[in-house]
Chain A
Amino acid sequence: MQKKRSVVDYSRYGYFFSIPFIVTFLIFTLYPVLYTSIIGFTDMKGLGNTNIHFLTSDPFANFKEVLSSELFRLSLFNTFRIWIYNFIPQLGLALLLTAWFTDNRLQIKAKGFFKVIFYLPNIITMASIAILFRAFFGYPMGPANDLVTRIKGPGTEIKFLQDRDTTRNIVAFIQFWMWYGYTMVQLVSGVIGISPDIFEAAEIDGANRVQTFFFITIPNIRTILLFTLVTSLIGGLNMFDIPKLLMNGGPDNATITASLYIYNQAFSGSYKYNTAAAASMIMFVLIVICSAILFYIMRDKDEAALKKLRKAEKKAMKG
């Protein structure tokens, strides 16, 4: 293999095949990204404001304002709090279901049906889901309170959506419920991509199902797992629709997420595009840092070692 590659150099195809992506990116994404990053250093606020200046005395004034904002810090806390409460059970359940559904020895009946059904919550629009959940936890009437009064008697209705932690948990639950099927489908597609021979070999070697899952399945879908973790982190830190649609960040700012904070800066009346842009840049940096940590933890240690070795080899050859 090594020999052949050195005869024909295929690397230019790497460039060719990337061209559509790059061109599209340059046309459609670059401008908005630059636009946002520049606004963060200006005094652009208000509607139809054409008199915009760069901040000369203190270029980072917007960033300082955001970082010193208590509400921004609360929104970060909310974001992480809701994400963790949603993601840990979500990944746990998705992994468990993946283990069940891909275990040839378990022979679950109707597993195709279940796999298909579990993704369904992701199909309905967020707006409808928010409406349904708000009605479900309605006060003093609503299915949840019907249950409460049936158990505890009349007059015991609970204001679910008035309590800060309850509302956070409801948001986390909605996220969990909407996305565990999605995560599972992705993990399963990763497992299907594993060559069946590997499982057969494990079976022949007498591995039990728990061993198979932890020592064969998980390592083999590590790349997909990394994808799941990173995209969920990004999605979680950008969480917007459900907190916005359910209680508009309330009660008492309990479900204001970072994205909602940014949105409010820009659109709740004063059009503070400058602080909104600064807050987005801060979020961007934060997401990059968190993702980098994930990449580091999940990195392929063997491959990394191999790479080092190769580099050393190359160096030696050159030398």
Chain B
Amino acid sequence: MKKVIASALCLTMVGTAMFTGCASKQEEKVLNVWAFTNEVPDMIKRYKELHPEFDYEIKETIIATTEGAYQPALDSALAAGGADAPDIYCAEAAFVLKYTQGSAAQYAMPYADLGINVDSALKTAEIAQYTVDIGTRPSDGKLVALGYQATGGAFIYRRSVAQKAWGTDDPAVVADKIGSGSGNWTKFWQAAEDLKAVGCGIVSGDGDIWHAVENSSSTGWVVDGKLSISAEREDFLNISMKLMENGYHNDTQDWQDAWFADMKGEGPKDILGFFGPAWLINYTIGPNCGSKDEDGNLVGTFADGVGTWGDWAVCASPVGFFWGGTWVIANKDTKHKDAVKTIIEWITLDASENGLQYMWANGTLYGEGGTKDAVASGAVMKKSNGELDFLAGQNMFDAFVPAGEYATGKNLTEYDETINGYWRDQVRQYTSGAKSYEQAIEDFKAQVAENLDVTVE
């Protein structure tokens, strides 16, 4: 044991010696980039590769959002300022409002102050309005954040199930059947009945519908500091119960084993589809459809009887919504305005074929054959090829361009992540029969009142 202690102490000394070496050195051309994934920092590095004349060093700080560590760290870095303060920082849909409209909005520099001609650029690029709404600071009406991805949501459904219920898999017919664009759920319930008649469900679980319901609301959760439960959101109690009582779904929870099984068509009954943006196809349904082997290679398609690859199509959702997304923000105290402008403009507003979004939409940012994704610029999507084998050759942008226009960014608050969690928890209590309708709402209100600085009536 003595040896152990001795060697432990010895190592400690060595460790201590190592610290003395790291004095901080000031460099001129350094861009501090804060993000919660390596996506944006990697883009900026890629920009450097493509434009060697851009001679800034990129210092990335990546802190995962898991366990909520990103925001406290970012907040202190913004508040403290100085050489280590971020020049560019990213925010995810779940908490972007805090940095554009809420308690941390004062740290953002308006895009116009960077020297970007915002109005004309927005128009040329046909940027989805909801991303602009979210990125606009209410105190001065100035745009402070934009994204590159479009996360407007559509209905992603299985052709074979549509065939079974209605004898066709044509997106136009299915759109009509589920009441696409109607703004309400009336036709959707009829479709659910049709599907039930042939032994299928319409969605996998109530969570699939939630994002659409949430975004169809006329008001956000908090209006003038008061909790507001809009009729649309309150109706989710009924929607969820209806799905459950009628067996319209497989009663799964999003991101759990059973939910993924439905993508493969291996649930208790086949289900028609999922509500989601393009990334749900790329990152979730695609890899989980059962047609790929464990190395991610396609080993067959639905036609061969292997998984559901090629059995999918997209059409518009009954009510518009968006789900997720990353916004890019500039720090008002940045010392490298020009460089920040160059980067932000390239990522968020450049609709040319050299802009990031064109390469992102066509999957060519890191070379040919990458993942195609919907982007914020409608102009880019219109000149890009969104055909996917997964969708049996359908051009996904046909559905996702309108989806981006259809989503609204006006009913959000910075408390949404927390409040949505409470709401869905109470909805589950209600549908499982543990609570009455009134009790669920009552307890939801109490929960909000206890944890947040929000008035509840």
Which A residues lie at the B interface, using CB under 8 A?
A: 45-48, 69-72, 127, 135, 138-142, 154, 159, 162-164, 245, 248, 250-253, 264-265, 267-272
Query: How far in angstroms is the closest Cβ of chain A from B197?
Result: 20
A71 pairs with B447, CB closer than 8 A: yes
Comparing B128-136, B228-236, B413-421, the segment that makes contact with chain A is: B413-421
Interface centre among B106, B421, B429, B451 (most CB of A within 10 A): B451
A301 to B102, CA, bound (A): 60
A141 to B205, CA, bound (A): 13
Chain B residues whose C-beta falls within 8 Å of the C-beta of A164 in the assembled complex? 434
Q: Is B113 engaged at the interface, CB distance under 8 Å to the other chain?
A: no
Chain A residues whose C-beta falls within 8 Å of the C-beta of B252 in the assembled complex? 140
Q: Is B187 engaged at the interface, CB distance under 8 Å to the other chain?
A: no
A269 pairs with B414, CB closer than 8 A: yes
Chain B residues whose C-beta falls within 8 Å of the C-beta of A251 in the assembled complex? 425, 428-429
Chain B residues whose C-beta falls within 8 Å of the C-beta of A252 in the assembled complex? 425-426, 429, 434-435, 443
B447 pairs with A135, CB closer than 8 A: no
Interface residues on B, range: 35 or more
B253 pairs with A139, CB closer than 8 A: yes
- In the complex, the chain B residue whose C-beta lies closest to that of A69 is B450
**Which chain B residues (46-66) contact chain A, with CB distance < 8 Å?**
66
Given A47-B104, A248-B421, A252-B429, A140 contacting B258 (CB threshold 8 A): yes
| Residue from the list B102, B250, B446, B453 in contact with A71, Cβ < 8 A | B446
B443 pairs with A48, CB closer than 8 A: no
| Residue from the list B79, B251, B421, B450 in contact with A70, Cβ < 8 A | B450
Chain B residues whose C-beta falls within 8 Å of the C-beta of A264 in the assembled complex? 451
A290 to B426, CA, bound (A): 34
Query: How far in angstroms is the closest Cβ of chain B from A164?
Result: 8
| Residue from the list B67, B103, B421, B432 in contact with A159, Cβ < 8 A | B432
Query: How far in angstroms is the closest Cβ of chain B from A131?
Result: 11
A252 to B433, CA, bound (A): 13
Which B residues lie at the A interface, using CB under 8 A?
A: 66-68, 72, 75, 78-79, 98, 102-104, 106, 250-253, 256-258, 261, 268, 414-415, 417-419, 421, 425-426, 428-429, 432, 434-435, 443, 446-447, 450-454
Query: How far in angstroms is the closest Cβ of chain A from B118?
Result: 26
A270 pairs with B75, CB closer than 8 A: no
A69 to B257, CA, bound (A): 37
- In the complex, the chain A residue whose C-beta lies closest to that of B252 is A140
- In the complex, the chain A residue whose C-beta lies closest to that of B103 is A47
Given A252-B425, A269-B418, A269-B452, A48 contacting B79 (CB threshold 8 A): yes
A268 to B421, CA, bound (A): 11
A-B contact pairs, 10 of them (CB 8 A): A48-B79, A71-B446, A72-B450, A127-B66, A138-B256, A139-B258, A140-B268, A162-B432, A269-B452, A271-B103
Query: How far in angstroms is the closest Cβ of chain B from A165?
Result: 11
Query: How far in angstroms is the closest Cβ of chain A from B352?
Result: 38
A56 to B67, CA, bound (A): 36
A72 to B447, CA, bound (A): 11
Given A47-B104, A48-B78, 18 additional A-B pairs, CB 8 A: A47-B102, A48-B75, A48-B103, A48-B104, A69-B450, A70-B450, A71-B451, A138-B257, A139-B253, A139-B256, A140-B251, A140-B268, A141-B256, A142-B256, A162-B432, A265-B451, A270-B415, A270-B453
Chain B residues whose C-beta falls within 8 Å of the C-beta of A45 in the assembled complex? 453
Chain B residues whose C-beta falls within 8 Å of the C-beta of A138 in the assembled complex? 256-258
Given A47-B98, A252-B425, A270 contacting B258 (CB threshold 8 A): no
| Residue from the list A135, A154, A267 in contact with B68, Cβ < 8 A | A267
Query: How far in angstroms is the closest Cβ of chain A from B439?
Result: 10
A26 to B434, CA, bound (A): 51
Chain A residues whose C-beta falls within 8 Å of the C-beta of B446 in the assembled complex? 70-71
Query: How far in angstroms is the closest Cβ of chain A from B210?
Result: 16
A96 to B9, CA, bound (A): 36
A268 pairs with B452, CB closer than 8 A: yes
B250 pairs with A140, CB closer than 8 A: yes
| Residue from the list B250, B257, B417 in contact with A135, Cβ < 8 A | B257
Given A69-B450, A138-B256, A267 contacting B432 (CB threshold 8 A): no
Chain B residues whose C-beta falls within 8 Å of the C-beta of A248 in the assembled complex? 421
Chain B residues whose C-beta falls within 8 Å of the C-beta of A142 in the assembled complex? 256-257
A272 pairs with B257, CB closer than 8 A: no
B75 pairs with A47, CB closer than 8 A: yes
- In the complex, the chain A residue whose C-beta lies closest to that of B428 is A162
- In the complex, the chain A residue whose C-beta lies closest to that of B107 is A48
Chain B residues whose C-beta falls within 8 Å of the C-beta of A70 in the assembled complex? 446, 450
| Residue from the list A48, A141, A163 in contact with B106, Cβ < 8 A | A48
A72 to B429, CA, bound (A): 21
A141 to B452, CA, bound (A): 35
A127 to B67, CA, bound (A): 9
Chain A residues whose C-beta falls within 8 Å of the C-beta of B78 in the assembled complex? 48
Query: How far in angstroms is the closest Cβ of chain A from B80?
Result: 11
A60 to B288, CA, bound (A): 55
Interface centre among B68, B250, B453 (most CB of A within 10 A): B453
A24 to B168, CA, bound (A): 74
Chain B residues whose C-beta falls within 8 Å of the C-beta of A127 in the assembled complex? 66-67
- In the complex, the chain A residue whose C-beta lies closest to that of B72 is A267
Chain B residues whose C-beta falls within 8 Å of the C-beta of A140 in the assembled complex? 250-252, 258, 268
